[in-house]
Amino acid sequence: MTATTLLRRNLPKMCSNRTAQSRVRPQDSGESGPVLASATVRGRRETRRAPALFVATGLVLALALPGAGGANPTQQADALRSQQTALGSRSHAALMNLYSLDSRLTQARAQLASLRQRVFDVRAQQARVVQEQAIARHAWRESVDALGAHLRTLYEQAEPDAIAILVGASSIDDAVTRLDQLQFSARLSRQTIAQTRTAQRSLARLRITLAARAAELQHLLAQAEETTAALEQARTQRVAYLASLARQRSLNAKQIDRLQVASAQIAARSQTITAEQETVSVAAPVSTDGNTLTVSATGYSLPGHTATGMPVGWGVVAVDPAVIPLGTRMTIPGYGEGIAADVGSAVRGETIDLWFPTLAQARAWGRRTVTITLH
């Protein structure tokens, strides 16, 4: 359960609950040792009436300052605001990174599309080469068959000589034509065979070249696909990261709003407590502008909230408002920074009570006379 939820639930009961809580004394438990605190610190006590608005304002301002360890709403809100600033910087950096990724991804996709088109073109060329090789083989076979048929005809009918052609011709033109046809038929068959063989060799070399080019393009295509996939994965992760930052910033904004409400409630509670104090002491509050004050300091360890409604935590100090106004920051030797954020019937005069996380730490502190510096 969050401190804000506890505060909202317990705030109306704070004043009455304080009188029912008592701090642990070694002598109360039958042990010997230093005195941790006297009777109830959080109960109502009699003090001289102080300017309520001044004290409440001082408490809120003190809670906003660093150095006190109490987990008060103002400090939490300030921490969340700092976190919001850091989240904003991280979001901006992530957005710039996403922009760079998008640019690289666009280039990678374009290169991938180009390689795929080149692979398609090479495969189309390979298919055409295979088809042309088939045509060349067919032409070669036909030429060989034609030449063979011509040779068989010459063998079967005996090779005609030029005199026989001239004698059998009806004219000189007819004789010349017959001689040309005889030579052309044989020459054409031989040329066709030679051309088809040359074409087959060229197509075979082209097929090898295309196969090597296709293998190279396939390798480049695999690399491009891997690069594109990696960039797409990185982009997906970056988008998810940006979304998580946005969700965190939204949650922080809501939490800051809740903490501001809690801080206002603490200030109001502090004003009420101060207004209700009636003192039998005639001592005037000390100045808090860098003065020092020698006090008797004890330690205690209790869960919950202070009389002002602030969650307990390191740095919470119970004081006599007649001597040290609520909201006063102070430096305690051996303890550190603290805030006057609690009161109690046993804390009177120049006495303070320091909060510790554990009973063992409170007992180890015991009762000490220290000179504190008020801020």
Tens-digit pLDDT profile for residues 85-97: 887 778 777 777 7
Which pLDDT does position 204 carry in this prediction? 84
Question: 227 with 150: CB under 8 angstroms?
Answer: no
List the one residue out of 185, 200, 183 whose CA is nearest residue 141: 200
State the chain's mean pLDDT as an integer.
Answer: 71
Render pLDDT for 170-221 as a digit per residue (tens, 0 to 9).
555 555 565 555 655 666 666 767 777 787 788 888 888 888 888 898 899 9
Residue 227 domain-assigned? yes
What phi, psi does 296 have (nearest 5°)?
-95, 120
Residue 352 domain-assigned? yes
Residue 77 domain-assigned? no
24 and 171 housed in the same domain:
no
Render pLDDT for 354-373 as a digit per residue (tens, 0 to 9).
999 999 999 999 999 999 99
Exposed, middle or buried: residue 11 (CB in 10 Å: 0-12, 13-18, 19+)? middle
- Domain at 106, CATH number: 1.10.287
Strands 367-374 and 292-300: antiparallel
Q: Can you tell me the distance from the alpha carbon of 246 to that of 166, in angstroms, rounded to the nearest whole number?
A: 105
pLDDT at residue 52 tops 60: no
pLDDT at residue 64 tops 50: no
The more confident residue out of 61 and 131 is: 131
pLDDT at residue 161 tops 80: no
Question: 273 with 15: CB under 8 angstroms?
Answer: yes
pLDDT at residue 116 tops 60: yes
Residue 351 domain-assigned? yes
Nearest-10 Cα torsion for 84, 90, 92, 94: -140
225 and 284 housed in the same domain:
no
Residue 242 domain-assigned? yes
238 and 301 housed in the same domain:
no
Q: Which domain holds residue 40?
A: 3-50+277-374
161 and 119 housed in the same domain:
yes
284 and 227 housed in the same domain:
no
Render pLDDT for 275-333 as a digit per residue (tens, 0 to 9).
555 444 444 455 555 589 999 999 989 888 887 777 888 999 999 988 998 888 999 99
- Domain at 7, CATH number: 2.40.40
Three-class DSSP labels, the chain:
CCHHHHHHHHHHHHHHHHCCCCCCCCCCCCCCCCCCCCCCCCCCCCECCCCHHHHHHHHHHHHCCCCCCCCCHHHHHHHHHHHHHHHHHHHHHHHHHHHHHHHHHHHHHHHHHHHHHHHHHHHHHHHHHHHHHHHHHHHHHHHHHHHHHHHHHHHHHCCCCHHHHHHHCCCHHHHHHHHHHHHHHHHHHHHHHHHHHHHHHHHHHHHHHHHHHHHHHHHHHHHHHHHHHHHHHHHHHHHHHHHHHHHHHHHHHHHHHHHHHHHHHHHHHHHHHHHHCCECCCCCCCCCCCCEEEEEEEEECCCCECCCCCECCCCEEECCCCCCCCCCEEEECCCEEEEEEECCCCCCCCEEEEECCCHHHHHHHCEEEEEEEEC
Which pLDDT does position 61 carry in this prediction? 41
Residue 63 domain-assigned? no
Number of domains the chain is built from: 2
Q: Can you tell me the distance from the alpha carbon of 128 to that of 120, in angstroms, rounded to the nearest whole number?
A: 12
The pTM for the full model equals 0.42
293 and 347 housed in the same domain:
yes
Nearest 5°: the CA angle 288, 314, 361 is 115
Residue 84 domain-assigned? no
Which pLDDT does position 13 carry in this prediction? 42
